Structure 1
Amino acid sequence: MHAERNVKQVMRWCLYIVLGFPLLNSCKDDYIYDNEEPSWLGANIYEYLESSGQFDCYLALVNDLGYKETLRLTGSKTMFPANDEAFSRYFLSKGLTGDGPALIHKMSASEKRYLFNSSMLNMTYLSHMLANVSSNDQGIGEGIALRRATSASYLDSISFVKPDALPKTAFWNRFRERKGAYLADNGSKMALYWTPEFFSTSGLTEADWAVIMKGEEGKPYDTQGFYVNDAHVESNRKDVTCKNGYLHIADDVVAPAPNMSEVINSTAGMHTFAGLMEKFAYPYYDGSVDDAVKAYYGAGNISDSVFVKRYFNLTDFSSDPEGKVDITGYGTLAFDPSNNVYGGNTDMGVMFVPSDAAMKDYWESPRGQFLRDSYAGWDEVPTNVISVFLQNHQRLSFLTSLPHNWDIMTDNAGFEMSVKEEDVQKAYIACNGIVYMTDKVYPPVDYQAVYGPVLTADTTTTMSAAIKNDDMDDVNNLKYHLYLRSMDNQYNLLVPTDDAMANYRDPITWALWANEGVDKREIWSFYVKMGKVVADVYDTNEDGSKGTLLRTVGADALDTEGAEEVANRLQDILDMHIVVADNEDEPLSGFIDEGTLPYVLTKGGSVLALSGTGEQVKVQGGGDMELGLPEAEVVTLEKDHRKARYEMDNGRTFFIDRILQDPFKSVYYTMTANEDYRAFFDLLVGNDDVFLSLADNEDYKDIEPIFETSEGENSKMSGIGPVVTSFNNFRYTVLVPTRAALEEAFRDDPDLHTWDEISAQADLDVKADWTRYLLNFLRFHFIDGMLPVSGVSYQGKAYPTAARDDKGIFVYVKASSDGSGITFEPENGNGEKQQAKVITSNQEDYNVLTRDYIVNDNDYTLATQILSSSKAVLHLVDHAINYQK
């Protein structure tokens, strides 16, 4: 059995062999290239270049480097050689003439390696493959690559930089003492491949290319050929196939492109910008680089340590690993212009570099006035200030900064840069980005906005820290710079100097004194400590001047309540010192120095009184008028005795010599002190018996008095004295009818009852109705909106009042002004008898400013913060207005 089975197996294997022989013969006969090369396959790379007779210079590089045999053998190279004519132009650009190969032979070995290897890739790429990447996170690898690493190494670009060529900062002083420094490139340089595939994928247009090539001739947009850096490979000279790789013949020598730092430092006309940029250069020691250089060149050839020239930047060098430099405090660039691999294969950076002339023009223009007032020249601007300027001229991504997008391109803060193609004088292709030399400066929003001068002046450090606190995580950061940087609005920014900020009358304690007679008055002296605003708090002498030091608020990092108090007061100050200048709906909006407005309205709803024009403008707050304090004036600069007034892109900035103070007196106490207001005030105070009799009935819960002192025993807030209950952290106008006007109103309206008549009414429902009617009559004289007699004319402007109709909807009043007076009437008014005119015969009876305070304690004498407040202007008027008649 076993023998029989073995015989069968042998016969089966013989059959397999017999059947298999024809198949093997068939495969051999069909493959025609076993004994001959394909007709499309050229010679090896070296033979191709040699047989052409046009590449003697390139072959001189090959031969001198001992690369001849490599290019004869099979392999996988992609090369971008240039002919001898191109090399002649290359040498001529460096001031060299003569025999090309002879000039090659004179080059150092490193120079030869660097030049040759920059024209070679260690992989085979047909031209359409140059824009591909092997993989990425999205799985899309075609057409997205712009750059590739060549065979060149940073090891062949080590340079010894002499003292005169080193950056001028103290970081480099030790190398000046050593007569120079060995520096290595920050990474090996990549080459750029401008292919049709990349053009299509990135959306780079012919018009874009014209801007990128501005200043160059004979560099057309090419959708058939391509460019290596700025060397053109025409369509009929690409994809030359050799046995051991591909050749793409370039019209110019493919040399290593400089990085953006090198372009800026070496280009005439960019010296001012370059000098500022170099302030952020740092000699960075990398042990692996130093070791690699020593090993490459051999022991003893370079004895000193080799450093990498890097720049402080937000991308990869924002902190010092050795802890020697406070980089955050010093300032940084947006990215490192010397980083040769910045952006990887698919992207790179962009820098807009203003020419020296553009930098000079900006410095000497009104826009640069605030810098001139603070510094002697560009070189004197501190690094933490100039860093923001430099960052704004850097674009993190080339792909998002293509010229066709410049009309919508925004800066690092999200504001339009407004770059135009005609701004570009010349463009430079660097190995890590594009450098555009422009005839314009693109200042950051911090340099454009009204708070810009505050950040740079040494006399406004307190307001600078209040407006722009760089610690965005600070819970007490008011972030007013975000409001003031709006370019859609125009502002007046009034800036008390540091001296002025040392004399702030605390509103809470001064309001207690002004309204309740409780003398706990304090004067706060603000200053900056460790980047934060703190305050020394003083008591006052009997005459209100600064007395003895009581405490310091906000200085201790653990004093969170103190920090909140400081922020609370700074917010109050800032709201008082900002005036919107272009609010068409607000009669009190405009520029304070034009002499057209005697009053303006602040951001916080306060009224400021103005006098004078231009640099001689003077400003006074309601509290200043209340205390008889002098007007604030624009300060005179010591430097050139010029007034500190600045014209900025979104308004005007004025440094002033006093803090402007809001009124301290409330509506209640202001009316108490004025006999002409007495009749109306008595009506507003009401009748306690009436309110008590109606208080416990749910049907009458809508009835509340005009004035109220506290929010209740369990409340954590209260008013400083009685406050108007209908006020809600806004600005108001209160019309005060004369005694005669009120008597006429009660006589003419039988439904209008006095408090005594209401108190005597026994029927609670009738009492409630009479009370509602009277309260609505009174509240109709409380108007939402600040309307002083201001010299501004307007007609029939409608404003809501505190009165409500039967449906609970606020009733409106109309106001008209001829500039010297104001007339008020119900919106549905139908005659002169319904009109109330402001009586302007006595200055103490009209344009009287008040402020009702709500503070953070049920016992207002213990309050530490202003929770809200309502500002009002009071006018004595000749008639009472009654919409209910």
Structure 2
Amino acid sequence: MIKTQYFSQKRRGLSFTGKACRLLLAGVTALAGMANLSSCSQYDLDERTPDNWGASIYSYLVDNGNYTNFSKIIDDLGYRSVLDKTGSKTLFAADDDAFKRFYANNKWGVHSYADLTVAQKRMLLFGAMINNSYQLNYLCNTEGNVKGVAMRRLSALSPYDSVPKLTPDEMPDNKYWRHLKTQPYVYCFKDLTYTPMIHFMENFLVNNKITNEDYDFLYNHTTNRQAGQASVNGLQVVEEDIRCSNGFIDRTEEVMTPLDNMAEIIKGKPQMSQWNSLLERFCAPDSSEEASIKLGLNWPTEKAYQKRFFSEWSQGGKSYNASADGSVIDPAELLSFDPGWNQFYSGTNTTPDVELQRNMGLMLVPTNEALEEYWNNGEGKVLSERYGTWDKVPNNVVAELINNNMQKYLISCVPSKFPTMLNKSNDPMNISESDVDSVFLGNNGAIYMTNKVFAPTSFVSVMFPVIVFNDNYKILWSIINSGRYDALLNSLTSTYSLFVPSSKAVLQYVDPCSYAKSELEMLRFHWNNATKEPYASVHKYDPATGVVGDSIGVKSGTWSLNRRLEFLLKDHIVVGDVTDGHTYYRTMGNSIIRVNNPGKGKDGMTVEGTYQMNDNGKKIPVTNVYNQQNGHTYIIDEEPILGTRQSVKDIIDATPEFEEFGRLLEASGIIENNYKEKTCGDNYINAFNSYQYTVYVPTNESIRQLISSGQLIDPDVYEQMKESGADVTADSTRLVNFVKYHIQDNALIIGASNSSSNYETAMIDDATKGFARLNVTADDNNITIQDKQGNVRHVLKTDKNLYNRFAREYIYPGKDAKDASNIETNSSAVVHLIDGPLLFWNKQGAHAKKRARRH
């Protein structure tokens, strides 16, 4: 048992029985002003006493004659002057009969008043006191008299009221505590925040739809709650709202002791010791200058500490992610929240004080037997087979397991709400009352001790290899984690094909920001073990020879890299199954990939992005395949999947069969190098908007026929007329609309999934003011298109260079693409040659005919 001590030290002029005690009490009193809630607001009990109210709290206890234990505690602690005068206090007091039962059976092992230490007396008094006066039913109201929403309130118990002396054998067994184990003991607070008490009032339970059966469950069915009953720290209030001149007394059925926080509850239960050993991997001693000085220590050579847990959410509503020596903790090794933080709160809608009052956390903790069963025979067997012992399981994997069993809102996790209780991945937790052996309520949350392990979805999803083999996939994991894509990839209601570039593959990232520059650049991504962030060295790259030059710079930080990494990740995710018999697939990043020999897996399966298809001609081998519950994870080692450098105009300009459409495209004015105050990589089609598109290119002959028949103006004539100042409005509108009618939303590819629908084009229909549509059917072998006039066109497959041509167009921040340092957005497109034009109109323009004949 950890020893606690009440200090009365004279070192450096400090006395916790004198001046320092009064300072602490002043701080406690000041804290009361933070509440400002609905209590007895018509009275200022610090200034005057209501005429119809009784004696002071202290006088009532003495005069009653059955509170001798409580009144003696007040005397011994020198607190009579406070509780015998005006003030604002709420005291939950136990009478002498309750103390008799307490001495007969308590967790402290005391058998009489004489056995109580000073620290224990302070816990009994201040842990049962609130520094404001409240009628009992008002405890569930918060600031602004918001009714029925509060379940916790800070007690008057300061962390300095009980300071444990921690000996080496009591210290957690991890590297962060090792340097302290050479000392005989250290002063180490369980937490340096005040201790809340929990209370369940009728209005709160009704307002939050918590049933009496839920309440009885929380107290292990040792209660039989009836409507209207109130409890504080699990004790029934048997006599409420005893009015005193300086506040209220509420008599509890038993002696109230302060509740431990969740971490201390787990540590103190032998049947949860194995889980505690996993949990305490993430705790560290955090030194406090203020606490050290208050304890009279010679800072900084002598230090006092508090026990904290590395977590995303800790004291002050901030992450705790650095060790004492300044080392940054890997984000993968952070708990969701600090289970040792007494004043834990989860919401951010109001003030921290109010959020604390409204809720508390929950941890599902399996018994040792349940954890052993999971490890040896359950879903954890895959971990057992890989690592052999729990000691060898990496912290990031353990954190994933623990975090799946942490819930930030207890009121959403009572039995009546079990059907809607979700895990970390927003999948059903599938918990039932029979899974919970016992419940332990703490000051910051509840512990459900379970007879089974609730494994994270990530252990059965496509995320599993990224987590278990994290060291080799940290770059991809970092953007999954920071962008919260884990919730998506862990979803068991969808199917995913996740391609994971290894730490070797991400050394070969051709930077899209260099696509408009005279020389390409390659980024080689690395993991910074000091900052726990990715960075990239920058190299000149010659795609013709494949030569990568020496480093010419380094990029780091979220602004420089996160957009690139996000595009990288999305280009490696296919929503669907790439083994379904097709060849081409759209990624989450709206790019296209080609998958070859998927049935061969690591023995012959390859994948190509549009850069591989168009630019370097490489097929990336798949080196391993993991068959998971929601899809497949494919490991690639040679290089990442990349998007092409080629724009739609690049492809059209390089293909003679696309020449006439290229002239129309150029004349239409929809090609830009600057777009919405941003810069474009190379001839950006301004009808594109961060999506994927199909561009249908009619044959040269069919376009010449339209021009010769006067249905379209010849682009050369159009440019001459513009230069001469002629009115070309009608011709311009028709030309632009013709081009836009051939640009369709959704990239339809021969060899991709079958599709049949009315797709929007980039052209606006003046009649409907909406986008004109095409009726298109696509399958593995053909694409047919029907236009507004009923003409049916087909993609021509006589030459593989005339269909399924893939383009990608980028927009960068700034004014010059040659200076691009980040990606704003991008669009992808597929280009097909079709056997005739798509016509929206049904009348020929006579003026266009004449101009065409004159030309």
TM-score computed with the length of structure 1 as normaliser: 0.66
Whole-angstrom CA distance in 1 between matches of 2:678 and 2:148 = 65
| TM-superposition CA deviations, 1:67-91 (whole Å, max 9, x none) | 9xx99xx989832444699569737
Change in Cα spacing, 1:272 to 1:770, as seen in structure 2 (3 Å) is: same
- Contact conserved, 2:515 with 2:645, CA < 8 A, in 1? yes
Change in Cα spacing, 1:379 to 1:110, as seen in structure 2 (3 Å) is: farther
Partner of 1:633: 621
Whole-angstrom CA distance in 2 between matches of 1:439 and 1:323 = 36
- Contact conserved, 1:192 with 1:228, CA < 8 A, in 2? yes
Gaps of 5+ in 1: 1-40, 50-57, 296-303, 470-477, 513-517, 582-589, 637-642, 688-702
1:428 positional shift:
1.0
Larger Rg: 1
Q: Within the alignment, does 1:459 sit opposite 2:454 as a pair?
A: no
Whole-angstrom CA distance in 2 between matches of 1:746 and 1:753 = 6
- Contact conserved, 1:510 with 1:664, CA < 8 A, in 2? yes
Partner of 2:439: 427
Whole-angstrom CA distance in 2 between matches of 1:714 and 1:65 = 73
Whole-angstrom CA distance in 2 between matches of 1:726 and 1:119 = 67
Whole-angstrom CA distance in 2 between matches of 1:666 and 1:119 = 70
Partner of 2:212: 206
Partner of 1:700: none
Spell out the pairing of 1:34-53 with structure 2 (5 A cutoff). none
1:545 positional shift:
1.1
| TM-superposition CA deviations, 1:698-755 (whole Å, max 9, x none) | xxxxx971578765899974663x66565555433233444665677778x5746766
Partner of 2:315: 315
Partner of 1:699: none
1:619 positional shift:
1.7
Q: Within the alignment, does 1:656 sit opposite 2:636 as a pair?
A: yes
Whole-angstrom CA distance in 1 between matches of 2:132 and 2:510 = 78
| TM-superposition CA deviations, 1:626-684 (whole Å, max 9, x none) | 24633223334xxxxxx356556xx654332221232333444434544xx53xx3322
In structure 1, which of residues 682, 686, 697 is the aligned counterpart of residue 659 of structure 2?
Answer: 682
- Contact conserved, 1:786 with 1:872, CA < 8 A, in 2? yes
Whole-angstrom CA distance in 2 between matches of 1:239 and 1:526 = 68
- Partner secondary structure for residue 839 of structure 1: coil
1:263 positional shift:
1.7
- Contact conserved, 1:685 with 1:706, CA < 8 A, in 2? no
The code of the aligned residue for 1:602 comes to T
Partner of 1:842: 799
Whole-angstrom CA distance in 1 between matches of 2:699 and 2:206 = 80
- Contact conserved, 1:856 with 1:867, CA < 8 A, in 2? yes
1:142 positional shift:
10
Change in Cα spacing, 1:47 to 1:437, as seen in structure 2 (3 Å) is: same
Spell out the pairing of 1:512-551 with structure 2 (5 A cutoff). 520-529=519-528, 530=531, 531-540=533-542, 542=544, 544-549=545-550, 551=552
The code of the aligned residue for 2:659 comes to D
1:206 positional shift:
0.8
Partner of 1:279: 281
- Partner secondary structure for residue 105 of structure 2: helix
| TM-superposition CA deviations, 1:432-465 (whole Å, max 9, x none) | 5422224566788998986675466111233334
The code of the aligned residue for 2:621 comes to E
Spell out the pairing of 1:94-133 with structure 2 (5 A cutoff). 104=112, 129-130=135-136
The code of the aligned residue for 1:537 comes to H
Whole-angstrom CA distance in 2 between matches of 1:567 and 1:148 = 41
Spell out the pairing of 1:811-822 with structure 2 (5 A cutoff). 811-822=772-783
Q: Within the alignment, does 1:576 sit opposite 2:571 as a pair?
A: yes
- Partner secondary structure for residue 435 of structure 1: strand
1:220 positional shift:
0.9
1:816 positional shift:
1.7
Change in Cα spacing, 1:426 to 1:868, as seen in structure 2 (3 Å) is: closer
Whole-angstrom CA distance in 2 between matches of 1:882 and 1:272 = 72
Whole-angstrom CA distance in 1 between matches of 2:674 and 2:75 = 95
1:879 positional shift:
3.7
The code of the aligned residue for 1:655 comes to I
- Partner secondary structure for residue 659 of structure 2: helix
Whole-angstrom CA distance in 2 between matches of 1:735 and 1:816 = 14
Spell out the pairing of 1:337-356 with structure 2 (5 A cutoff). 337-338=339-340, 346=357, 349-356=360-367
Change in Cα spacing, 1:620 to 1:360, as seen in structure 2 (3 Å) is: farther
1:549 positional shift:
1.8
Whole-angstrom CA distance in 2 between matches of 1:185 and 1:764 = 83
Spell out the pairing of 1:377-456 with structure 2 (5 A cutoff). 379-380=391-392, 390=402, 393-394=405-406, 418=429, 420=431, 422=433, 423-438=435-450, 454=466
Partner of 1:798: 759
- Contact conserved, 2:173 with 2:281, CA < 8 A, in 1? yes
TM-score computed with the length of structure 2 as normaliser: 0.68
- Partner secondary structure for residue 660 of structure 2: helix
Change in Cα spacing, 1:210 to 1:624, as seen in structure 2 (3 Å) is: same
Q: Within the alignment, does 1:827 sit opposite 2:788 as a pair?
A: yes
Change in Cα spacing, 1:841 to 1:867, as seen in structure 2 (3 Å) is: same
Spell out the pairing of 1:679-758 with structure 2 (5 A cutoff). 681-686=658-663, 705-706=667-668, 711=673, 717=679, 720=682, 727=688, 730-738=691-699, 751=711
Whole-angstrom CA distance in 2 between matches of 1:837 and 1:786 = 16
1:361 positional shift:
7.4
1:264 positional shift:
0.7
Change in Cα spacing, 1:871 to 1:258, as seen in structure 2 (3 Å) is: closer
Whole-angstrom CA distance in 2 between matches of 1:802 and 1:824 = 16
The code of the aligned residue for 2:613 comes to M
The code of the aligned residue for 2:636 comes to I
Gaps of 5+ in 2: 1-58, 86-90, 346-352, 843-855
Partner of 1:697: none
Change in Cα spacing, 1:131 to 1:162, as seen in structure 2 (3 Å) is: farther
- Partner secondary structure for residue 270 of structure 1: helix
Q: Within the alignment, does 1:496 sit opposite 2:501 as a pair?
A: yes
The code of the aligned residue for 2:499 comes to L
- Partner secondary structure for residue 829 of structure 2: strand
1:255 positional shift:
5.2
Partner of 2:581: 596
Change in Cα spacing, 1:734 to 1:309, as seen in structure 2 (3 Å) is: closer
- Partner secondary structure for residue 261 of structure 1: helix
Whole-angstrom CA distance in 2 between matches of 1:466 and 1:42 = 63
- Contact conserved, 1:161 with 1:182, CA < 8 A, in 2? yes
The code of the aligned residue for 2:642 comes to Q
| TM-superposition CA deviations, 1:733-785 (whole Å, max 9, x none) | 233444665677778x5746766898999999798766765665565444333
My pick for the range that moved more, 728-737 or 359-368, is 359-368
In structure 2, which of residues 254, 263, 266 is the aligned counterpart of residue 264 of structure 1?
Answer: 266
Partner of 1:20: none
Change in Cα spacing, 1:786 to 1:107, as seen in structure 2 (3 Å) is: same
1:804 positional shift:
6.1
| TM-superposition CA deviations, 1:277-318 (whole Å, max 9, x none) | 3234444566887798899xxxxxxxx987654555612596
The code of the aligned residue for 1:177 comes to T
| TM-superposition CA deviations, 1:829-880 (whole Å, max 9, x none) | 0xxxx22222334333322223455667988777666666543323333344
- Partner secondary structure for residue 280 of structure 2: helix
Partner of 1:554: 555
Partner of 2:182: 177
Change in Cα spacing, 1:206 to 1:661, as seen in structure 2 (3 Å) is: same
Partner of 2:225: 221
| TM-superposition CA deviations, 1:118-167 (whole Å, max 9, x none) | 99779999xx94555699753689996756758x9988966665544321
Whole-angstrom CA distance in 1 between matches of 2:188 and 2:812 = 63
Whole-angstrom CA distance in 2 between matches of 1:568 and 1:44 = 70
The code of the aligned residue for 1:871 comes to S
Partner of 2:11: none
1:788 positional shift:
1.2
